Chains A and B, each alone.
Chain A
Amino acid sequence: AQKITQTQPGMFVQEKEAVTLDCTYDTSDPSYGLFWYKQPSSGEMIFLIYQGSYDQQNATEGRYSLNFQKARKSANLVISASQLGDSAMYFCAMREGGSGTSYGKLTFGQGTILTVHP
């Protein structure tokens, strides 16, 4: 079963508008972390935002915010005021487990290619 699902293979947005990239996840672990990464054509993975399962408030980082709906197991990324440089592939990822010194691997969604039009 897919643990992280991104149902939008591609998204288009007009420059300066907001866009929401969808992500749903599946886990039975009460402790987990959700990540969003941006991957431009160069291939590097750029960390955008993190949301912990016990965090009470939605995470925000500049123009990025995470719409965390725990009961629905969704963690959508909202990009406000889109810029041409936002065109890239975006990945949602989850790390299960968070206690002690054991580190969980990151499981990635399929990715969404975002294209920002001028």
Chain B
Amino acid sequence: GAVVSQHPSWVICKSGTSVKIECRSLDFQATTMFWYRQFPKQSLMLMATSNEGSKATYEQGVEKDKFLINHASLTLSTLTVTSAHPEDSSFYICSAESDRRRTEAFFGQGTRLTVV
């Protein structure tokens, strides 16, 4: 089946630094990728929709300048958490859409970010 790879799976960073998370579709072209954030024992909340070659569409309340999304190719989208603060600590997970299989959304393994 289709595979989405997300890297890193976990990261610890200091307050004020930036962290980049990668989401790759390994065996299909993903014109659209989604970035979600999840707090412990809570639901996934959509942060933004990433379309290849265009600007990301952010959900209401998500700071565009803090969560930079780049979708430079059909197989790679990146989320950069800039000037991270402890409240940004969370589980971030991406999903990718395939043109041919719309009855399933493929998720990466997720990234657990801890800001100290």
Q: A residues bordering B, Cβ < 8 Å?
A: 33, 35, 37, 42-45, 47, 50, 52, 89, 91, 93, 95, 98, 101, 103, 105-111, 113
Contact = CB atoms under 8 A, between A and B. Distances in A.
Contacts of A91: 43-44
Nearest to A35: B105
Nearest to A4: B43
Interface size class of B (residues with CB under 8 A): 20 to 34
Given A47-B104, A50-B103, A52-B103, A106 B43 contact: no
A43 B43 contact: no
Contacts of B110: 43-45
Nearest to B99: A101
Q: Which 4 A-B pairs have the closest CB atoms?
A: A45-B107, A43-B110, A50-B103, A108-B43
Interface string B76-94: 0000000000000001010
B95 interface: yes
B46 interface: yes
Given A50-B104, A91-B43, A103-B97, 17 more contacts: A33-B102, A35-B105, A42-B109, A43-B110, A45-B107, A47-B104, A98-B102, A103-B32, A105-B34, A105-B46, A106-B46, A108-B44, A109-B43, A110-B42, A110-B43, A111-B41, A111-B42
Nearest to B44: A108
B102 A43 contact: no
